[in-house]
């Protein structure tokens, strides 16, 4: 058997195998001996059925498929032995066959792990800045505010205040006073803070009272706008169906003892815990952002072609994760039906593009680790590579 190895343009090679009659007969004999082991015929002991009888009991397409398999396996083994520097990904595709001058010509493609090409030395001049991991007072206060909201109590009221949570019925009316659309919505104290004009019209209004507001797309928040702008409503009627007062607790020692007594003793310990968690989150987020921005800056110095095989596996992984988020195939199918064909197509394209970009960054990252002489990276440990690249480039140790 003769072979040719032709380099492709996407980290792959085209393999051309030339089989003469002797090669074909040799593989055919091996295939028949394989079937001979399992074939049982009257008057013959197992493994002793003559090969010419074995051939009569085996469908020709099975024999042809076996020739393919033997030829490809033997050809790849020979190629790998003679090209030890090539790291093949064991997945054959674009398989074809033809007859030419009495020979069987088998062609197929096989991918190799990509090599990153260095285009220039500009990456060496890229400047980086240290990240800030210490939490600010504003960040601590925001966490405390979130805790107050999380542990707030809600009491029934008959009228609306700036701290009310409201379930309301919506009616959109045209200039004739006809209801063209209806719906329900929840309004929160944050809505009043973000929309002072809305707050003025609602505060102190009572449950089941019809509150008429001039409809204005510019002045109303998105959740108080019509779903179909073609209806062109003139008036929005808000009818509070349920009103509850949100009473937020004071963050003090008693609060900590009530909700965190298994872990914390007082407000001081709570503040320290908040700062510790904020620092951890800022460190993790900062490292990811640092490396991502660094890769964007250095990317023009490198070139890498990701093979089809790896891209397809990455897409499969991302699609599986997406399907699981919708509770399985049925849930995902219903979602696709709701967004329509064009958006579904765009979603798939985005996943494909994201897969390619993610893989390019990964292989460039591995090349940078090599170029920067960074040792002992645990690629399976979260953020280990980001941490060590950051420390190497900035000289700043991350605890």
Give CATH 3.30.70.1050 domain extents, the chain.
Answer: 2-113
Host H or E run for residue 355: helix 329-371
- Record the pTM: 0.70
Beta bridge partners of 316: none
- Of 308, 331, 333, nearest to 9 by C-alpha is 308
- Please give the sequence-ordered ranges of beta strands (E in DSSP) within 113-163, or none if there are none: 117-118, 153-156
CATH class of 153-247: alpha beta
pLDDT digits (tens), the chain, 399 positions: 888 888 887 788 899 999 888 888 888 888 888 888 877 777 677 767 778 777 787 888 888 888 888 888 888 888 888 888 888 887 888 888 888 878 889 999 999 989 899 999 999 999 999 999 999 999 999 999 999 999 999 999 999 999 999 999 999 999 999 999 999 999 999 999 999 999 999 999 999 999 999 998 888 888 999 888 788 899 999 999 999 999 999 999 999 999 998 889 999 999 999 999 999 999 999 999 999 999 999 999 999 999 989 999 999 999 999 999 989 999 999 889 888 889 999 999 999 999 999 999 999 999 999 999 998 899 899 999 999 999 999 999 887
Residue 8 three-state SS: coil
The domain over range 2-113 is classified in CATH as 3.30.70.1050: yes
Which backbone phi and psi does 313 adopt, to 5 degrees?
-65, -40
Tokens of 59: 């469908």
Q: Per-residue DSSP letters for 244-274?
A: EEEEPPP-SHHHHHHHHTTT--SHHHHHHHH
Give CATH 3.10.50.30 domain extents, the chain.
Answer: 153-247
- Of 57, 36, 32, nearest to 47 by C-alpha is 36
Host H or E run for residue 36: helix 21-36
């Amino acid at each position: 058997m003769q072979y040719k190895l032709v380099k492709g343009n996407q980290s792959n090679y085209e393999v051309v195998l030339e089989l003469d009659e002797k090669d074909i007969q040799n593989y055919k004999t091996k295939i028949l001996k394989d079937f001979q082991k399992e074939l049982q015929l009257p008057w013959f002991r197992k493994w002793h059925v003559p090969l010419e009888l074995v051939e009569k009991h085996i469908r020709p397409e099975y024999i042809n498929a076996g020739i393919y398999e033997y030829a490809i396996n033997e050809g790849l083994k020979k190629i790998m032995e003679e090209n030890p520097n090539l790291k093949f990904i064991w997945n054959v595709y674009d398989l074809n066959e033809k007859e030419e001058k009495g020979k069987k010509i088998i062609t197929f493609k096989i991918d190799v792990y990509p090599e990153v090409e260095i285009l220039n030395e500009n990456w060496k001049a890229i400047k980086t800045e240290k990240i800030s991991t210490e939490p600010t007072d504003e960040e601590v206060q925001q966490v405390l505010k979130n805790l107050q909201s999380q542990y707030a109590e809600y009491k029934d009221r008959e009228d609306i205040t700036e701290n009310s949570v409201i379930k309301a019925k919506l009616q959109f009316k045209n200039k004739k006073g006809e209801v063209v659309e209806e719906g329900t919505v929840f309004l929160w104290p944050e809505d009043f803070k973000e929309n002072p004009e809305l707050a003025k019209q609602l505060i102190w209004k009572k449950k089941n009272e019809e509150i008429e507001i001039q409809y204005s797309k510019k002045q109303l928040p998105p959740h108080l706008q019509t779903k179909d702008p073609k209806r062109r409503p003139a008036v929005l009627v808000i009818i509070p169906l349920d009103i509850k007062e949100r009473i937020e607790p004071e963050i003090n020692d008693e609060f900590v003892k009530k909700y965190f007594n298994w872990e914390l003793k007082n407000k001081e310990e709570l503040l320290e815990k908040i700062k510790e968690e904020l620092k951890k989150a800022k460190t993790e987020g900062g490292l990811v952002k640092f490396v991502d921005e660094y890769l964007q800056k250095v990317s023009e110095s490198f070139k890498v072609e990701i093979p089809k095989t790896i891209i397809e596996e990455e897409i499969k992984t991302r699609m599986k994760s997406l399907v699981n988020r919708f509770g399985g195939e049925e849930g995902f199918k219903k979602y696709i039906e709701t967004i329509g064909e064009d958006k579904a197509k765009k979603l798939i394209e985005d996943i494909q593009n994201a897969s390619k970009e993610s893989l390019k960054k990964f292989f460039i990252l591995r090349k940078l680790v090599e170029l920067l002489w960074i040792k002992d990276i645990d690629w399976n440990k979260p953020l280990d590579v980001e941490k060590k690249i950051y420390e190497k480039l900035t000289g700043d140790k991350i605890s």
